[in-house]
């Protein structure tokens, strides 16, 4: 099947509700010879191609014989590279015969260098495409399809098309990618539901504890102020070698950032195992340090220096697989019992005695310099990819502030057609000063409304970021007011509570107000 058919389907999907999107995809599936490739593209399971918006504009301009500022101006007008090129190429309705297989090769081409063969291939195929095909190819090339098709839409479409329950398909998705599920179901087979070394498991997520939330006889452990990671360790006897892979919470391999953690894992002589854990920064005495120090591990190229500047500790809090035994469906208490028998105490999360109250555990964790506590239902299985009430996080009281939006950039996935991240500012005298960005707490309606209203107040556009006149006020909550090495003040982990349509930008909080919370 062809790019032309995919582009026409995406054009329909763009303005539909989620239920309508599912029905549209289901209706189109019989016309696709290779449905797995369709799922591969819609779920964006193709490999990273090292392209960004700035480089994309250069490639597009060079390919189409345009000046870069022509493309940039169109992007500024239309707010999206795909739409901008569609408008530039308006009237070109001659579709190509590019197959989905060729399309995937184009999407996966390494675009890190313009002097590579990838650019030649890109230019050749881009010039074969109609305006509509260009629009949707470029959007998927940049991983910003802006058609509202999130990860669940393809799963729901497969469930309906193959006559499966959505819960059943979601279970398959715990162990398989969407296109792998499609291959199996298309052959009237059950997808293999086994965990294997190197196969990332979507993490189970926690909800913030509310006063009304109650868990009977909970397991209470420390909430560390670090980052979430998943560690896969396997001993390959045929090669007499150990393989240790560290994934971040998005499923990206980051093993090279933590050679010291790899050494710790290998020193324990573990069996084939998959662990859920936290890696957090510590000071020279081994006490919890500021979370922002972890940035050195992520961004610093010299890993030896990064280890010296940001020592870390490992805290394993869950066991997902052990010697090929999948533990996901085991209750929390069983997973914790097995973890205690396998992982050395020094590297286990600290679990409070069963007679400890929530408040006493919380006060102890805060006194020791940790972020808070986790309260877990002992009977709950590991709910991969789900934000569950069976895991509650209890952290210090948060601070609420009124801020004004001064910039924004488009989101990813289902948010790719709207602004997903907003630069926020407070007053400093007669000016406004940035205090960070917020991208959580918004409903779909909020995002649509904000995008529409903010487009009326565009002041400038640079480096993929729209800058606005200070007009729209948000009430946000954060867990801390921080300052960096340059004395810039910011909000840590801000979240939108509501849009304050009743307030003017002149009424937002001031920098002095934030300083009082430090």
Domain boundaries, the chain: 3-141, 205-394, 399-515
The tokens for 393 are 């996080």
Whose structure tokens read 């190197």? Answer: 198
How many C-beta atoms surround the C-beta of residue 76 within 10 A? 15
Q: What is the pLDDT of residue 487?
A: 85
Q: Specify the 3-state DSSP secondary structure of 462.
A: strand
Pick left, alpha or beta for residue 86 (phi over 0 → left; psi -120 to 50 → alpha; otherwise beta).
Answer: alpha
How many C-beta atoms surround the C-beta of residue 208 within 10 A? 12
- DSSP symbols for 395-429: -PPPEEEEEEEEEEEE-SGGGTTSEEEEEEEEEET
CATH class of 399-515: mainly beta
The tokens for 113 are 């260098």
**Mean pLDDT for the chain overall:** 92
pLDDT digits (tens, 9 = 90+) for 458-469: 999 888 899 999
Looking only at the bridges linking them, the beta strands covering 465-468 and 372-376 are unpaired
* Sequence-distant (≥ 6) Cβ neighbours of residue 491 within 8 angstroms: 399, 401, 424, 435, 436, 438, 476, 478, 480, 481, 482, 514
Q: What is the pLDDT of residue 492?
A: 84
How far apart are the C-alpha atoms of 286 and 306, rounded to whole Å? 16
Give the right CATH number for 3-141 from 1.20.5.510, 3.40.50.300, 1.10.3260.10, 2.60.40.10.
1.10.3260.10
pLDDT reading at 238 higher than 80: no
The tokens for 378 are 């002992």
How far apart are the C-alpha atoms of 14 and 12, rounded to whole Å? 6
Please say whether the beta carbons of 25 and 80 come within 8 A.
no
Mean pLDDT of the 4-14 span: 95
* Fold match, 205-394 / 399-515: no
pLDDT digits (tens, 9 = 90+) for 340-397: 999 999 999 999 999 999 999 998 998 888 889 999 999 999 998 888 899 999 987 7
How far apart are the C-alpha atoms of 310 and 280, rounded to whole Å? 9
Whose structure tokens read 């670090």? Answer: 226
pLDDT reading at 1 higher than 80: no
Pick left, alpha or beta for residue 501 (phi over 0 → left; psi -120 to 50 → alpha; otherwise beta).
Answer: alpha
pTM of the model: 0.65
pLDDT digits (tens, 9 = 90+) for 261-282: 999 999 998 889 999 999 999 9
- DSSP symbols for 131-198: HHHHHHHHHHHTT---S---THHHHHHHHHHTT--HHHHHHHHHHS-HHHHHHHHHTT-PPP----TT
Give the right CATH number for 205-394 from 3.40.50.620, 1.10.645.10, 3.40.50.720, 3.30.470.30.
3.30.470.30
**Eight-class DSSP state of 380:** -
How many C-beta atoms surround the C-beta of residue 285 within 10 A? 6
Whose structure tokens read 């709910």? Answer: 383
pLDDT reading at 81 higher than 90: yes
């Amino acid at each position: 099947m062809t790019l032309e058919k995919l582009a026409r389907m995406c054009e329909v999907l763009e303005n539909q509700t989620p239920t309508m999107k599912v029905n549209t995809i289901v209706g189109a599936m019989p016309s696709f010879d290779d449905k797995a490739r369709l799922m591969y593209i819609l779920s964006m399971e193709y490999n990273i191609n090292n392209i960004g918006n700035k480089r994309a504009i250069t490639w597009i301009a060079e390919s189409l014989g345009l000046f870069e500022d022509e493309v940039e101006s169109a992007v500024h007008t239309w707010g999206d590279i795909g739409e901008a090129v569609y408008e530039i190429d308006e009237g070109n309705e001659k579709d190509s015969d590019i197959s989905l297989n060729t399309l995937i090769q184009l999407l996966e081409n390494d675009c890190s260098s313009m002097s590579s063969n990838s650019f030649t291939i890109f230019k050749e195929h881009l010039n074969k495409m109609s305006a509509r095909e260009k629009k949707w190819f470029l959007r998927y090339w940049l991983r910003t399809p802006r058609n509202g098709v999130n990860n669940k839409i393809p799963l729901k479409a497969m469930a309906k098309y193959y006559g499966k329950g959505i819960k059943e398909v979601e279970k398959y998705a715990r162990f398989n990618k969407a296109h792998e599920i499609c291959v199996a179901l298309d052959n009237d087979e059950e997808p293999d539901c086994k965990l294997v070394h190197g196969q990332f498991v979507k993490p189970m997520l926690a909800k913030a504890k509310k006063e009304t939330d109650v868990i009977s006889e909970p397991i209470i452990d420390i909430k560390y102020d670090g980052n979430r990671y998943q560690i896969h360790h396997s001993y390959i006897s045929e090669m007499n070698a150990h393989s240790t892979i560290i994934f971040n919470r998005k499923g990206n391999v980051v093993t090279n950032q933590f050679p010291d953690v790899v050494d710790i894992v290998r020193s324990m002589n573990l069996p084939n195992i998959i662990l859920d854990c936290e890696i957090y920064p510590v000071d020279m005495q081994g006490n919890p340090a500021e979370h922002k120090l972890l940035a050195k591990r992520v961004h610093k190229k010299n890993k030896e220096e990064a280890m010296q500047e940001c020592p870390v500790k490992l805290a394993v809090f869950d066991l997902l697989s052990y010697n090929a035994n999948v533990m996901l469906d085991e209750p929390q208490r069983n997973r914790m019992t097995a973890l205690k028998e396998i992982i050395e105490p020094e590297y286990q999360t600290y679990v409070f005695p069963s007679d400890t109250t929530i408040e006493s555990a919380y006060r102890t964790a805060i006194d020791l310099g940790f972020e808070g506590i986790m309260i877990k239902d002992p009977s709950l299985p590991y709910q991969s990819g789900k934000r569950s009430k069976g895991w509650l996080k209890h952290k210090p009281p948060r601070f609420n502030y009124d801020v004004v939006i001064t910039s924004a950039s488009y989101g990813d996935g289902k948010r790719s057609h709207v602004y997903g991240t907003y630069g926020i500012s407070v007053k400093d005298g007669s000016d406004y000063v940035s205090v960070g960005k917020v991208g959580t707490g918004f409903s779909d309606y909020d995002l649509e409304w904000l995008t529409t209203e903010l487009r009326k107040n565009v002041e400038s556009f640079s480096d993929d970021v729209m800058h606005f006149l200070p007009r729209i006020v948000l009430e946000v909550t954060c867990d801390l007011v921080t300052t960096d090495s340059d004395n810039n003040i910011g909000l840590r982990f801000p979240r939108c509570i509501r849009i304050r349509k009743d307030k003017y930008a002149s009424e937002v909080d001031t920098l002095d107000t934030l300083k009082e919370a430090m």
